[in-house]
A = this chain, B = another copy of it.
Amino acid sequence: MTAGPAEDTRTRLLQTALRLFTEHGVEGTSLQMIADALGITKAAVYYHFKTKAEITEAVAEPGVRDLDELVLRAAAQKRRGTQVDLLLEGFVDLVIRHRALVALFSSDPGLVRAIEKSAHGGMEGFGQALLGILSGPDPTPAARVNAMVALTGIAMAGGSPDLARLSDDVLRTELLDVGRRLLGRPRRRTPTAVSTL
């Protein structure tokens, strides 16, 4: 992560790719479109990334990293209530921090498949882990549906263009509130200082 002039195009490239991915989907975005948006040629794009898959992974990486970390931290808690609270607050924070990305994650089959092939057990692993913690051991159908609606709803709402005008603070407050209601957690005014990550 040396911040030099050499990284400038790379950074712009990833930002542009994310934007195009959210507009057209991963599979619907060609390297030509990315190159055009940057005012360079396809060949120049290939100087920075060997394959399109590499671009996709690099775009998703920050979100995957944070999510991975969050799941580990939550799983390390002893009491289930603490696990759920930490996971919910951390997930909302993550959604706010990576608004566009998370919406892509929860929806775009192209992104999900790309991640699948790269690092860990893919998105499924994360989904199962999150749902497992949120719905608890031996969950009722109600608990499973609640957890699923909470997770996907928070992710989609966070990335929704319809709510893009809401400030981070307002959106975070409301998403937390919704999540607590769905998961049967006590509602609080100020979120406990669970993390700064």
- Whole-angstrom distance between the alpha carbons of A166 and B142 in the complex? 10
Q: Is the CB of B141 within 8 A of A197?
A: yes
Q: What total of chain A residues lie within 8 Å of the partner, measured CB to CB?
A: 44
CB distance from A59 to the nearest CB of B (A): 15
- Whole-angstrom distance between the alpha carbons of A24 and B195 in the complex? 36
Which listed segment binds B: A63-71, A77-85, A108-116? Answer: A108-116
Q: Is the CB of A106 within 8 A of B107?
A: yes
**A177 interface hit (Cβ, 8 Å):** yes
Interface residues of A (CB under 8 A from B): 22-25, 27-28, 106-110, 113, 127-128, 131, 140-142, 144-146, 148-150, 152-154, 156-157, 160, 162-163, 166, 170-171, 174-175, 177-178, 181-182, 194-195, 197
Q: A106-B156, A175-B145, A178-B182 are in contact. Are A195 and B140 (CB under 8 A)?
A: yes
Q: A162-B131, A162-B148, A182-B182 are in contact. Are A177 and B142 (CB under 8 A)?
A: yes
